Amino acid sequence: MKSKREIAQKLLNPSGVVLDGPNPWDPKLHDERVIDRLLAEGPIAVGESYMDGWWDVEDMAGFTARVMDSDSSSAVYSMQVLPLIWAVIKARVVNLQSKKRAFQVGEEHYDIGNDLYERMLDKRLTYSCGYWSSPTGVAKNLDEAQEAKLDLICRKIGLKKGDRVLDIGCGWGSFAIYAAEKYGAKVVGVTVSKEQAALARERAKGLPVEIRLQDYRAISDGPYDHVVSVGMFEHVGYKNYRTFFELARKLLKEDGLFLLHTIGAKETFKFIDPWLDKYIFPNGYVPSAPQITTAADKLFILEDWHNFGADYETTLLAWDKNFERHWPELKDKYSERFYRMWKFYLLSCAGSFRARNTLLWQIVLSPKGVKGGYVTVR
């Protein structure tokens, strides 16, 4: 009879990962109970046992990418079918992103501390994928990559001085402030995070920028020249996609453009990774391409679909580097367990983007089609 360690290794064989192996992507086990835990609890045990210090790996992104890019990922998920079935049933029966639950992710993720995000992110506090490689050149650092992304959005919607723009999920105001400073736009930004709203208002003082603490479903003061949503759609949930697109259409002028910037899934799932749901993004959900096009059906014309998901790995690694460098300033407030949780979050997500399991899309939509055709911007 095979030992539990042999069973676990067999699951990992397709990925080329070896338990206690010599490569930087090979995990080093500090507690053999991690194998029992993995076999008993499935994928959530991978992250939780790492948080508990039961194993380490030099190259977490490489480890994750190898597992996700092979049959090992499916094997790990198949070990605990019942919890996943329950997650799917719960997502089908309950609207996990209802109005009543809308502020939960703000309270549990975005409100944990502006000090953390100020040290991890770029100088504009942009918590979404940077644009590292473009026709105009390669960004040298995180600040340049994020400014390139913000400018890309402005150019894609043809932003002009005096345009009124709605930013759904404005974060700490990076796009709103950039659009006002560089293009002379008037921007209304909404967020479900109290900490984001407070800091964004402070940073936007003196600019034509209004920041609201508000669920997107409560917005009613259109029409706007343009609507953008950057890194927020992942909190909407597939049950609410049609409502989201209907609202964007209602708030947008007939000749305006709607730009949606979102993480995307290569296939349609009905649940989020259980570890991410529990520890990082409660009620989060990553959309697939068919879900987006179905939700936008008869409301918008698809003008452009840009995938630069490979840039998210670079962004996440830059965030991790900043987090690691500034940890001595943060460790008195945040625990060692939090440190390991945050590292696992950033680096395992980087691995997912490296494996192209997860994508990043910028989608440009128009209500009736751009007259003469939309000119693609890259």
Taking the C-alpha atoms of residue 368 and residue 356, their distance in angstroms, rounded to an integer, is: 33
Q: Are 23 and 46 in contact (CB under 8 A)?
A: no
pLDDT tens digits, 252-300: 999 999 999 999 999 998 777 889 999 999 999 999 999 999 999 999 9
State pTM to two decimals: 0.93
**Tokens describing residue 48:** 């939780």
Question: pLDDT tier at 47 (50, 70, 90 boundaries)?
Answer: very high
Taking the C-alpha atoms of residue 223 and residue 24, their distance in angstroms, rounded to an integer, is: 53
Taking the C-alpha atoms of residue 190 and residue 100, their distance in angstroms, rounded to an integer, is: 17
pLDDT at residue number 272: 79
| 349 counts as catalytic | yes
Q: Are 230 and 128 in contact (CB under 8 A)?
A: yes
DSSP state of 140: S
Helices (H) and strands (E) in the chain, counts: 16, 11
User: What is the helix (H) or strand (E) element at residue 361, kind and residue range?
Assistant: strand 358-366
Q: Are 130 and 139 in contact (CB under 8 A)?
A: yes
Return the beta strands (E) in 233-347 as ranges: 252-265, 301-307
pLDDT at residue number 75: 55
CA–CA–CA angle 258, 363, 241 (5° rounding) = 75
**Scanning the structure block, which residue is given the tokens 């049950």?**
239
pLDDT at 348 > cutoff 70: yes
- Which residues have C-beta within 8 Å of that of residue 81, sequence separation ≥ 6? none
Q: Residues 124-141: what's their mean pLDDT?
A: 90
pLDDT at residue number 240: 96
Q: What are residue 365's DSSP bridge partners? A: 258, 302
pLDDT over 90 for what percent of the chain? 83
**What SS3 state is found at 375?**
coil
Domain 99-332+356-366, what fold? Rossmann fold (3.40.50)
CA–CA–CA angle 216, 220, 221 (5° rounding) = 120
Query: Of 318, 219, 234, 220, nearest to 283 (Cα)?
Result: 234
**Tokens describing residue 244:** 């989201």
DSSP state of 113: -
Taking the C-alpha atoms of residue 128 and residue 164, their distance in angstroms, rounded to an integer, is: 22
Taking the C-alpha atoms of residue 90 and residue 205, their distance in angstroms, rounded to an integer, is: 43
Residues of the chain within CATH 3.40.50.150 domain(s) are 99-332+356-366
34-to-22, 28, 49 alpha-carbon distances in Å? 19, 11, 6
- Which residues have C-beta within 8 Å of that of residue 124, sequence separation ≥ 6? 143, 146, 147, 150, 172, 174, 177, 178
Question: pLDDT tier at 40 (50, 70, 90 boundaries)?
Answer: confident
Q: Residues 308-336: what's their mean pLDDT?
A: 98
User: Which has the minimum average pLDDT: 13-17, 58-62, 226-230?
Assistant: 13-17
b/e sequence 55-89, b meaning 16+ C-beta within 10 Å: bebebbbbbbbbbbbbebbebbeebbeebbeebee
> How many residues does the structure list for the chain?
378
- The active-site residue, picked from 129, 154, 170, 349, is 349
Strand duo 164-168 + 224-230: pairing: parallel
Q: Are 264 and 360 in contact (CB under 8 A)?
A: yes
pLDDT at 221 > cutoff 70: yes
User: What is the helix (H) or strand (E) element at residue 58, kind and residue range?
Assistant: none
- The pLDDT mean for the chain works out to 93
Helices (H), ranges, the chain: 4-12, 33-41, 44-51, 60-68, 71-78, 81-93, 104-105, 114-120, 142-156, 174-183, 194-203, 241-251, 274-279, 289-295, 310-330, 336-354
pLDDT tens digits, 67-114: 999 876 665 655 555 555 555 555 565 676 777 777 999 999 999 999
pLDDT at residue number 79: 53
